Structure 1
Amino acid sequence: MPTLLLVRHGRSTANTAGVLAGWTPGVDLDDTGREQAAGLVGRLSGLPLAHAVSSPLERCRQTLAPLLAARPELGDPAVDERLGECKYGDWTGRPLRELAEEPLWRTVQNQPSAAAFPGGESLRDLSHRTVEAVREWDAKVAAEHGEDALWIACSHGDVIKAVVADALGLHLDHFQRISVEPCSVTAIRYTAHRPFLLRLGDTGGLAALAPKAERPEVPAGDAVVGGTG
C-alpha cells in the first residue's frame, strides 16, 4: 500500500501575475516559490522516498530540484506528461480577471464535468489522464519498492484536485471544493479496497507520514472503526 505525496509546484511568476499559465513554456518559480521549494527538503526529511515523478513543466521540475539534490539516491525524476497542467487552449496566458467574465467560467466553477476549454481539453479528460497516471505509478512503485513505499509526484493545482476527488469518490462537479496551495503536500495511500486521504494541501511538517506497522487487529486496507487514536 504505497503512499503518494502529491506536491503542487511552488508559487510561479504566472501565479504572481494572475494569468493562466497552462502549458506556456518558460514559466518559472518566483522568489517565494524558490523559497518554498528549498523548504520542501526539510519538510520531507526523515521520509524514505522511493521514487519521484514530475510534470514536464519547468515550475514542477524546479520545485523538485532542491529535494533531488539533497536525495541523490532518487536520481532524475521520471517525467509523465499525463501529470502536466490542464490544456487550457485559447484560455492559456490570459489574465484570470478577464477569464472570469467568460460564460464558460461559470461552467468551470459550477459544473466542471461539462467544461471543455476551446482549443484545449475538457476537465473530464484531465481527470481521466491524471488518475490513470497516479494509479499506474502507484502499482509500479509497489511492485519495485514494496507495499510500504513512499513516492512523490510534483504536479499542478487542477491535477491534484482531480486526483483527490477520485480518491474521495467525489463527482468531478465537486472538485472545486478542494483547495491546494503552492508547494503544499497532499498524501494519498492506495489500497486494494480504497484510497485513504492522509493529508490535503499540507504546508507544514510531514514526519507523521513515515511508514508504520499495520495495526494487527485491523485487516490491511481497512479503516479503523472509531478512529485511529
Structure 2
Amino acid sequence: MTQFYFVRHGKTEINAEGRFNGGTVDSPLIPSGVEATQRMAQHLKTTPFDLALTSPQMRAQTTAKIILAENAQAPELTIVEDLREMRLGDWDGQKIDEITAAYPEDLKNYRTRPDLFAAEKFHAEPYTSLITRSTKVIEEVAKTHPNKKVLVVSHGILLVALLNTLKGVPLAKIRESGIVDNSSLTILSYSKEKTNIETWGQTF
C-alpha cells in the first residue's frame, strides 16, 4: 500500500474574508496560516517522503514548500494540475454570505447534497469531474509508487471529495464528514484493493 500524507493548504486572505476559494482564485497565506503550517512541518520533518505533489495554485505550493523546507529527506516538489481546487465558476471569489442569500437552495445542495448540485447553472465544475480527476492522480501514484510515502498538498473541497470517495462513500454523502481544516493532515494508506485512514484532519 502507498501511504499518502494529504495536507490542506494554510489559511489564506480569501479564506479569512469569507469568500469562495475555488480553483480559479488565489491569495497568499495569512500569518496564522504560515504558522500552523510551520507547526505541521516540525511534526513531519523526519518523515521520509519519496514523492511530493502539489496543486498548481500558489496557496498549496507555498504550504508544500514550508513543509519540505524543514524535511530531512525532501524530494523535489511536483506540480499536478489535477490537484487544483474545484472550480466554482461565478461563485469563485464571491462573499459566501451573499451567495447564501441569493441562492439558498443551490448553496445547500453544494454543501450537503453534491449529487444534486447544479454546477452548470453557475459555470462551475461538477463534483463528478473533481472526483474523477483527483482519484486518477491517486490511483496512478499508488500504482507507480507502491509501499512509498507521498506528500499531497491540495484543497478543502477536493480533499473531502477525494478522501471520502476512496473510502467508498457515495456522492450524495461525501460532504457529511465536513471539510478538513486549513493546515490539517490526513494520512491514508491506499491500494486498489484497500483503503485505510490512519489520521483524519489533524492540526498542529
Q: Same fold (TM over 0.5)?
A: yes
2:126 matches 1:127: no
Structure 2 contact 48–73 (Cα < 8 Å) conserved: no
Q: Distance in 2 between matches of 1:22 and 1:112?
A: 15
How far apart are 1:182 and its partner, in Å?
0.4
How far apart are 1:98 and its partner, in Å?
1.1
Which residue identity is paired with 1:115? F
2:7 matches 1:7: yes
Q: Aligned with 1:74: secondary structure? A: coil
Within-5 A mapping of 1:46-195? 46-71=46-71, 73-101=73-101, 102=103, 103-117=105-119, 118-142=122-146, 147=147, 149-179=148-178, 180-195=180-195
How far apart are 1:72 and its partner, in Å?
7.2
* Greater than 6 Å deviation, 4+ residue runs: none
Q: Which runs of 5+ in 2 are unaligned?
A: none
Which residue identity is paired with 1:99? I
Change (3 A) 1:120 1:30: same
Q: Aligned with 1:104: secondary structure? A: helix
Deviations 1:99-127 (A, max 9, x none): 21213112213320222432121111111
Pairs aligned (count): 199
Q: Distance in 2 between matches of 1:96 and 1:111?
A: 17
How far apart are 1:25 and its partner, in Å?
4.6
Comparing 150-159 and 163-172, the one that deviates more? 163-172
Q: Aligned with 2:145: secondary structure? A: helix
Q: Aligned with 1:22: secondary structure? A: coil
Deviations 1:74-133 (A, max 9, x none): 343111111101010111111111121213112213320222432121111111111111
The RMSD of aligned alpha carbons is 1.6
Structure 1 contact 5–150 (Cα < 8 Å) conserved: yes
Q: Distance in 2 between matches of 1:191 and 1:124?
A: 21
Q: Aligned with 1:182: secondary structure? A: coil
Q: Distance in 1 between matches of 2:142 and 2:118?
A: 28
Q: Which runs of 5+ in 1 are unaligned?
A: 205-229
Structure 1 contact 2–189 (Cα < 8 Å) conserved: yes
Which residue identity is paired with 2:30? D
Q: Aligned with 1:139: secondary structure? A: helix
Partner of 1:225: none
Within-5 A mapping of 1:201-220? 201-204=201-204
Comparing 192-201 and 79-88, the one that deviates more? 192-201
